[in-house]
Amino acid sequence: MISEQATIDFDAAQAAKEDGMHRVAVNADDEWADAALKVVHHYAQHCPYLTVNDLWAGMDTLGLTTHNNKAGGPVFLKAARNNWIEKTAETCVSSRPSRNKGDVRVWRSLLYKEAA
């Protein structure tokens, strides 16, 4: 018996990912998005590594929420374009119950300076 192997269209998958990120960014509340970027900047200045867990912790402290938790993705991409952080190959388990212990990306700060 011969089984057929599934073919994956990686270009279509990447285009769908980019489209989803764009839609989330466009629909994010401006006040929320501005505050989220400031939170990521703060963590990038004070921590050698950060994840979206840090973003949500900071936003929780500020009492700010969004209707779509995927809105954190575009914030991290903007911070990377601003040369504040860079993506690593590392992941860790999310601390947020809504993520069901799913993995989240670890980002390296480009702003962090260790205290002398």
Model pLDDT, residue 30: 85
Walk me through the domains of the chain, giving residue ranges and CATH numbers: 24-109 (1.10.10)
* pLDDT greater than 80 at residue 28: no
**Residues 46-66: tens digit of each pLDDT:** 999 999 999 999 999 999 988
pTM: 0.75
* CA separation, residue 17 to residues 11, 20, 24, 50, 72 (Å): 10, 5, 11, 22, 14
